[in-house]
Chain A
Amino acid sequence: MTTRPRPKVAFFDFTSCEGCQLTVVDLLQDHPELLDAVEIVEFREAMSEKLPLDERYTIAFVEGSCTRASDEARLKSIRERADFLIALGACADLGGVNTIRNVMPLQEVREYVYGDKADWYETYPARPIKAVVKVDAAIPGCPIDRNEFAKAVTHLLQGRLPNLPDYPLCIECKALGTVCMYQRGQACLGPVTRAGCGAICPAVGYGCEGCRGFVPSPNLASMREVMREAGVGDEEIESRLRIFLTYQMMKLEGVTS
């Protein structure tokens, strides 16, 4: 094997469940060669060491969304120290489930969550990290797909940005021979959701919730109509579109948060 310089890789988390980083840890169990390919210099989930402040990260993976003003300075400093900044998972890439609150008055949300301690906690509408800093690429999903992470790292090691699927989930369902959820009488966001996960939810009989984000030009009017035809009520349609996609929806529909 040719000896190649090992890029310095770091992992960071903002508002998230850390499930994407756990997926990376999990991946190391059957891909230990990842540790030969890269040097992991910071990874709170798995180690205590940190890179000296005057050194740079070759690749910084960031999980989680930006949900408070104080997140911004930390995110910007990671950006400044990183050659490549990669959004890791739905929260970082799309804002994820954290953005569900963006459609409600913030004070109401605070009181609902923190009760009489509402004013103790700093918060503002959740955003994907690309709303704050330049992001070079994203690995989508809730959580990320471990094989797709390995593929993205491979592409980065080759000196190119990750080339991950952004075609609809239906392509993968058909390749797998999965019977369409609509033909089984269930709603599914697959036609407007980007693939790459191996269409695992429909494969086990569960309609897609859109955790990987929209395809580049989603036909939302038509998607809503398809769900309506399938007997899904308007409220449920909007709820479904808001699990992971609130931020993208608000952007597409010209609503700013």
Chain B
Amino acid sequence: MSLRIMPKSALKAWIQRLQQRSFRIVGPKALHGRYVFADITDPDELAIDYPTTLSAPKQFLLPPREVLFSFNADTMDMTAHIEAEPTVLFGVHTCDMHAIQLLDTVQNNGFADQHYRARRDALYLVSIECLKPCSAQCFCKDMETYSITETYDVHLADMGDAYAVRVGSDKGEELLAGFTNIWEGADSDQQRLNEVMSQKWQNFEFRLDATLSQLPEVLGAAMHSAHWDELGDICLACGACTQVCPTCYCFDVTDEVDLTLTHGVRLRAWDSCQIEKFAVVAGNHNFRSQLGRRQRHRFMRKGKYQYEAYGKMGCVGCGRCGTTCPVAITCIKTFNHLTQESAERQAAVEVKA
């Protein structure tokens, strides 16, 4: 894969060209002093040097609410709604690329979800190298997500006045087809990129006390920790953490019909394991009526269950849940608290022995 160089000033022209080619352009843009992924109509709105967004880009693969199919209740005719608009997602950070990789694995597992699949096939990922931590809550170095995955179509690295551009797929080539303000990099460009990259690693620090490989074990041993109830005491069960998480994909399915009771749709909408009724089953039994149990479930998913099921951590260290939580429940604090407890238990065992 050869290195290409695009002057930063050419980014706008590239986006305009993609818009002319009828691509929907989505990327980070400013909103009330924060950043969100949203449609970019004017290329000047794209804030590609953003710290991080409030919500993850998963909404472009798994919309908060979508129609799966429509039906006629009298004739029982059904029509699948599979929407896929060619969309270029700009400025994806590496943690979010890891999250998309996990979503790909989950959604393609067994019976592939065709709604997801169609959107994924139509989604072009233009990622950007993270050269420094993007927020006080991120811990991508610990989660090993601060390097790019192989799933990018085009990957950009900021070299000051230009982007080092790598194309990772045919879809990436398609995005750059016919665009002339980009050229093959010389050896000197590769050297510049190597310098940028070699300076990157030291900008990140470890924020967890456990290593990635220790985390599932730390969580497994914490099943009966009193800390979950401490979190439950302050948790509002607002569900914001799961909504902004790049890897949470739980959903609810409902049917809605119109007032004639004839035409209807089957809807899929984001759900949250933090809300009261998430684990309510027939007979009204609630498997997780206590807030602490619901938080425990969330952290287990992030640091243990997903890893065991798919070989990839459910947490990519983006820190969004910690930023959004009104009561400041954060991954860093929680994982470190449990690691500390684990060490104390270990020490107690050793003393007894």
Contact = CB atoms under 8 A, between A and B. Distances in A.
A95 interface: no
Contact of A2 (B33, B262, B291): B262
Nearest to B63: A175
A196 to B, nearest CB: 12
B275 A153 contact: no
Given A175-B270, A216-B276, A192 B326 contact: no
A223 B240 CA distance: 14
Interface in A28-56: 31, 33-34, 36-37
B36 interface: yes
Given A174-B240, A191-B236, A167 B275 contact: yes
B236 A168 contact: yes
A192 B240 CA distance: 12
B89 to A, nearest CB: 15
A168 B256 contact: no
A22 interface: no
Interface of B: 31-34, 36, 38, 54-55, 59, 64-65, 74, 233-240, 243-244, 254, 256-262, 269-270, 272, 275-277, 291, 324, 326-327
7 contacts: A2-B261, A34-B259, A176-B64, A179-B31, A180-B324, A183-B54, A225-B327
> 7 tightest A-B contacts by CB?
A175-B64, A174-B243, A191-B238, A170-B238, A191-B236, A179-B32, A167-B275
Interface of A: 1-2, 4, 31, 33-34, 36-37, 150-151, 153-154, 157-158, 163, 166-168, 170-171, 173-177, 179-180, 182-184, 190-192, 215-217, 219, 222-223, 225-226
Given A173-B240, A177-B54, 16 more contacts: A1-B260, A2-B262, A31-B259, A157-B261, A170-B238, A174-B243, A174-B244, A177-B36, A179-B32, A179-B34, A180-B54, A190-B238, A219-B234, A219-B235, A222-B236, A222-B327
A154 B55 contact: no
A170 B259 contact: no
Contacts, number: 119
A81 B128 CA distance: 66
A217 B276 contact: yes
Given A34-B259, A167-B272, A184-B32, A174 B326 contact: no
Contacts of A180: 54, 240, 324, 326
A154 B239 contact: no
A150 B259 CA distance: 7
A250 B31 CA distance: 38
A225 to B, nearest CB: 7
A182 B260 CA distance: 42
A219 B232 CA distance: 10
B24 to A, nearest CB: 16
A168 B327 contact: no
Given A154-B256, A157-B259, A168 B65 contact: no
A159 to B, nearest CB: 10
A32 to B, nearest CB: 10
Contacts of B34: 179, 183
B259 A1 contact: no
Contact of B270 (A151, A168, A171): A171
Nearest to A205: B32
A91 to B, nearest CB: 25
Contacts of B256: 151, 154
Contacts of A150: 259
Given A4-B261, A154-B258, A222-B327, A171 B275 contact: yes
A212 to B, nearest CB: 14
A167 B326 contact: no
A157 B264 CA distance: 14
B30 to A, nearest CB: 10
Contacts of A170: 238-240, 243
Contact of B262 (A1, A167, A179, A184): A1
A84 to B, nearest CB: 17
B276 A167 contact: yes
A222 B275 contact: no
A177 B55 contact: yes
A163 to B, nearest CB: 8
Given A167-B275, A174-B55, A179-B34, A37 B260 contact: yes
A223 B236 contact: yes
Give the interface centre of B31, B32, B65, B235 by most chain A CB atoms within 10 Å.
B32
A176 B59 CA distance: 10
A96 B168 CA distance: 58
Contacts of B240: 170, 173-174, 180, 191
A33 B277 contact: no
A116 to B, nearest CB: 47
Given A170-B240, A179-B31, A179-B34, A222 B260 contact: no
A153 B259 contact: yes
B65 A175 contact: yes
Contacts of B272: 167, 171
